[in-house]
Amino acid sequence: MDTLTDLFALAQEWLYETAVQPLAVWLGLSNILEVAYEGTGWLLVGLLQIVLMLVLIAPLQRLWPVAPVRDHAAVRVDVLYTLIHRLGLFRLAMFFTFDALFEQGLGELRSMGLPTFHLDQLWPGVTDQALVSFVIYLVVFDLVNYGIHRAQHQSGRWWALHALHHAQRELSMWSDNRNHLLDSIAVSLILSAVAALIGVGPGQFVALIALGQLSESLQHANLRWWFGPVGERLWVSPRFHRRHHSVGIGHESDSHGHPVLGGCNFGVLLPWWDMLFGTADFALRYEDTGVRDQVEQGRDYGQGFWAQQWLGVLRLLGRG
């Protein structure tokens, strides 16, 4: 773990000094070089993820697809979402807006006596075991993500935004970041707050997010894959997550316009929480994906990036 961390730090420093720092200075942004260095880390992580997606996941999609791609334009829009989120553009926008307010609020709470807490220190000797610390935070983060995901499906307002993610009929490795920006902002702020409250370090936070994103790219892939009777219960597979995206699953409307609560397979990385709370569905099926009112009633969720964002706002306001 330490070796990987050191290698990443060297690569981040090289990329920063070679490209990012000179560009920031040339643009007259010398006052935010510290932010630029942090952003270089996110950029490097995103580049590595995209390379792995293209080298490992894309060939698998071609070899064992669930269904042929019918709408290549829809997939290209998902590529745009991926580039925005994985190459640090979303993080950069968050820094100059909500993150600044978040840090200010956290600083005020610290000054009022909020203690600094490190969850991993409850494990004996964990300070000398970086891998154990990482696993502890991964499990806790995944439980939080499970709760967030269920709320996205069981809150009418939140579903109005999250429905965009489910409206993709052409599910692929690019679909993970297909989210309304307001939805992404809410999730990002919640995870940042949890990280601050339980003592996740900046490097650990980046690693947790990176691992989660790469795994979710595999889960969303157009890939007829499962991990076997045992593996399915250890880590979320493409089959397990595709069931979650199946038409008619989750907070939608039935053919009569009545709300349908519930859903299944909300786990982000680990299916354990679905098993624990009774929301797991291990049926070995690969069904069409989408939202019921989109498929049965022709509801428009938008074709391009801006149309999808605007229609999401209208749904949130009850006008779309």
pLDDT digits (tens, 9 = 90+) for 179-201: 999 999 999 999 999 998 898 98
DSSP single-letter state for residue 252: E
What tokens does 35 get?
């932010």
pLDDT digits (tens, 9 = 90+) for 73-99: 999 999 999 999 999 889 888 887 877
pLDDT digits (tens, 9 = 90+) for 255-295: 666 667 678 999 999 999 999 999 999 999 999 999 999 99
| Residues near 258 by beta carbon (within 8 Å), at least 6 away in sequence | none
pLDDT digits (tens, 9 = 90+) for 26-85: 878 788 788 788 889 999 999 999 999 999 999 999 999 999 999 999 999 999 999 999
What tokens does 288 get?
């069409």
The sign of the torsion formed by the CA atoms of 165, 169, 175, 180 equals negative
Q: What is the pTM of this model?
A: 0.92
Cα gap 169→246, rounded to integer Å: 9
